[in-house]
Chains A and B, each alone.
Chain A
Amino acid sequence: MSATIEFVIDGKEIQGQPGQTILEAAQQAGVYIPRLCYMKGLVPHGSCRVCTVLVNGRPQSACTQPVAPGMVVENNTEKVTALRRNIVEMLFVEGNHFCMFCEKSGNCELQALAYRLGIAAPKYPYLFPTRDIDMSHPDVFIDRNRCILCGRCVRASRDVDGKHVFDFVGRGPHKRVAVNAEVRLADTNLDVRDKAAEACPVGAIMKKRVGYAVPIGQRLYDHKPIGSEIENGKK
Chain B
Amino acid sequence: MSDNLATVVRDICRKYGRERGRLMDIVRAVQEKFGCVSGPAMDLIAKEVGVRRVQVASVVTFYAFLSEQPKGQVVIRLCNDIIDQMAGAPDVARAFEEELGISFGQTTPDGKFSLEYAACIGMCDQAPAALVNDVPVTELSTDAARRIVRDLRKHMDPSRLVHRLGDGNNAHELVHAMVMNNIHLRGPVIFTPANRGEAIRKALAMTPAEVIRAVKTSRLRGRGGAGFPTGMKWEFTRAAPGDRKYIVCNADEGEPGTFKDRVLLTELPDRVFAGMTIAGYAVGAAEGILYLRAEYAYLQRFLEDLLDKRRAENLLGQNICGKAGFNFDIRIQMGAGAYVCGEETALLSSAEGSRGDPKNRPPFPAQKGYLDCPTVVNNVETLACVTKILEAGPATFSEHGSPGSTGTKLLSISGDCKVPGVFEVPFGIKLSEVLKLAGGEDAIAVQVGGASGQMIAREEFGRTICFDDLATGGSVMIFGPERNVLEVADKFMEFFVEESCGYCTPCRVGNVLLKERLERVIAGQGEPADLEYLQDLGQTIKTMSRCGLGQTSANPVLTTLKNFRATYNALVKKRTDGLQPAFDLGAAVGEAETIIGRKSEHAHA
Query: Which A residues contact B (CB, under 8 angstroms)?
Result: 44, 46-50, 52, 59, 61, 64-66, 83, 86-87, 90-91, 93-94, 123-125, 127, 148-149, 164-175, 178-182
Contact = CB atoms under 8 A, between A and B. Distances in A.
Nearest to B551: A59
Contact of A164 (B54, B516, B537, B545): B54
Nearest to B362: A66
A65 B360 CA distance: 9
Contacts of B498: 172
B533 A90 contact: no
Given A149-B508, A173-B497, 14 more contacts: A47-B504, A49-B505, A64-B360, A86-B536, A90-B510, A93-B513, A94-B505, A149-B505, A167-B54, A168-B58, A169-B54, A171-B63, A173-B512, A181-B53
A49 B502 contact: no
Nearest to B53: A180
A182 B43 CA distance: 9
B501 interface: yes
B450 to A, nearest CB: 18
Given A46-B504, A93-B513, A171-B62, A59 B57 contact: no
B509 A179 contact: no
B504 A91 contact: no
9 contacts: A61-B360, A61-B546, A64-B360, A125-B513, A164-B55, A169-B57, A171-B502, A172-B500, A180-B53
A167 B52 contact: yes
Interface size classification for chain B:
35 or more
Given A93-B513, A167-B58, A174 B502 contact: yes
Contacts of A124: 513, 537
The 9 closest A-B pairs by CB, nearest first: A175-B502, A90-B509, A180-B54, A172-B500, A169-B61, A167-B54, A86-B540, A172-B502, A64-B360
A172 B498 CA distance: 6
A21 to B, nearest CB: 10
B526 to A, nearest CB: 13
A44 B360 contact: yes
Contacts of B513: 90, 93, 124-125
Interface centre among A124, A148, A165, A166 (most CB of B within 10 A): A124
A76 to B, nearest CB: 16
Contact of A125 (B61, B503, B516, B543): B516
A172 B540 CA distance: 18
B544 interface: yes
B510 A172 contact: no
B355 interface: yes
B338 A171 contact: yes
Contacts of A165: 54
Contacts of A59: 543-544
A173 B498 CA distance: 8
B502 A166 contact: no
B501 A172 contact: yes
A47 B358 CA distance: 11
B252 interface: no
A47 B544 contact: no
Given A127-B512, A170-B62, A182-B39, A90 B506 contact: yes
B543 A83 contact: yes
A83 B360 CA distance: 20
A30 B546 CA distance: 26
B62 A167 contact: no
B57 A167 contact: yes
B58 A169 contact: yes
B253 interface: no
A47 B52 contact: no
Nearest to B62: A171
Contact of B506 (A49, A123, A170, A171): A49
Given A83-B543, A127-B512, A91 B505 contact: yes
B294 to A, nearest CB: 14
B499 interface: yes
Contact of B497 (A149, A168, A172, A178): A172
Contacts of B510: 86, 90
A91 B61 CA distance: 22
A168 B62 CA distance: 9
A85 to B, nearest CB: 9
Nearest to A50: B505
A61 B509 CA distance: 18
Contacts of B55: 164, 167
Contact of A48 (B57, B355, B505, B537): B505
A178 B546 contact: no
Nearest to A148: B505
A106 to B, nearest CB: 23
Contact of B540 (A87, A167, A182): A87
Nearest to A49: B544
Contact of B509 (A94, A168, A169, A171): A94
Contacts of B53: 180-181
Nearest to B361: A64
